[in-house]
Amino acid sequence: MQTINDVEIKGAIKRFGSNTVLDGINLEVKKGELLTLLGPSGCGKSTTLNLIAGFLDADEGDVYIKGNKVTNVPPYKRDLGMVFQTYSLFPHMTVYENLDFGLKLRKVAKSDKQKKISRALELVKMAGLENRYPRELSGGQRQRVAIARALVVEPELLLLDEPLSNLDAKLRHELRAEIKRLQKEIGVTTIFVTHDQEEALSMSDRVVVMNAGRIEQISSPTAIYNHPETEFVFQFIGKSN
Ligand code: ADP
Ligand code: MG
């Protein structure tokens, strides 16, 4: 039996004007794995994520989710949750309303809503803070809520674009472990983006090292660390923050 990958990108090329920012990306994401896109700023990580989410279309090549080509399928129909580096929450809505917003688009029965929202907040250890506004939360708490909002719809796919980059080192470490635990607990296929090699190596099932719009290597963290296949990977992994 052939296994269908949760996500496949085949030959994706993306240009902004004369700038080719993705230059032939081929990628397969397996069901239930935590795959990390790792690379320096500007290498095309967010662009890749945005192709998967449907915020951008590739100029050439295709994206498949669960075996179906998703060209022209809008983001909200792609069954995914996404968390960004900053400004993920609506500032004028409480924690509860932020989570409720995502459910509104999906027409969840009222009786199920409360349950789903409570469960999502429990998962990120934010139960009891339903009535707070984002400004009344710390940076780490905000990102926890942003993750809960992505998860409340029980997506097939979770996309995390540098969700920890704006946090201090201690919180970053704490949330790393928590995201990993959560991801395994609910088994949601996850694509995590970071420019931090230590973060990538410590969290991922597999790491995709990107450089200037291309993929340099796709391997397990140990293989990336012990057997870099290109000079770029060797240099990038060896560099400490
Ligand atoms: P990363 O997330 O790895 O930092 P991005 O995917 O955001 O990189 O960007 C890759 C390249 O594409 C960068 O050179 C960036 O300046 C460029 N780019 C990204 N988005 C746009 C856009 N909307 N218009 C023009 N150039 C863009
Ligand atoms: Mg980015």
The mean of the pLDDT values for the chain is 92
Which of 19, 22, 46, 47 to mutate to test ligand 1, by most ligand atoms within 8 A of the CB atom? 47
How much is the average pLDDT of 111-133?
A: 93
Q: Which residue has the higher pLDDT, 206 or 107?
A: 206
CB of 55 shorter than 6 A to ligand 1:
no
Contact 234, 228 (CB under 8 A): yes
Contact 99, 148 (CB under 8 A): yes
Residue 241: pLDDT above 50? Answer: no
What residues contact residue 55 under an 8 Å CB cut-off, 6+ apart?
Answer: 75
Residue whose CB lies within 8 A of the most ligand 1 atoms, among 16, 18, 50, 211, for a mutation test: 16
Stretch 37-53: mean pLDDT: 97
* pLDDT of 2: 57
Torsion of CA 64, 68, 70, 75, to 10 degrees: -90
Q: Other C-beta atoms within 10 Å of 187: how many?
A: 10
The verdict on the CB of residue 16 being under 6 Å from ligand 1 is yes
Share of the chain above pLDDT 90, in %: 76
Q: Which of 2-11, 112-121, 126-135, 220-229 has the lowest mean pLDDT?
A: 2-11
Query: Looking at residue 189, what DSSP letter applies?
Result: E
What ipTM, to 2 d.p.? 0.98
Looking at residue 150, the DSSP 8-state letter turns out to be H
**pLDDT at residue 232 above 60?**
yes
- Strands, sheet with 60-65, edge to edge from the N-terminal-most edge strand: 19-29, 7-16, 60-65, 68-69
**What percent of the chain clears pLDDT 70, i.e. is strictly above it?**
97
Lowest mean pLDDT among 35-39, 50-54, 148-152: 148-152
Distance 46 CA to ligand 2 centre (A): 4
Return the H-helix or E-strand segment holding 178: helix 169-186
**Residue 43, ligand 1, Cβ within 6 A:** yes
pLDDT digits (tens, 9 = 90+) for 125-134: 899 999 999 9
The letter for the amino acid at 36 is T
The DSSP line for 5-40 is: PSEEEEEEEEEETTEEEEEEEEEEE-TT-EEEEE--
* pLDDT tens digit sequence for 17-35: 999 999 999 999 999 999 9
* Confidence (pTM): 0.93
Helix (H, G, I), strand (E, B) or coil at 109: coil
Q: Which of 1-5, 103-107, 146-150 has the lowest mean pLDDT?
A: 1-5
- Hey, how many other C-beta atoms are within 10 angstroms of the C-beta on 232? 18
Distance 161 CA to ligand 1 centre (A): 13
Contact between 213 and 40 (Cβ < 8 Å):
no
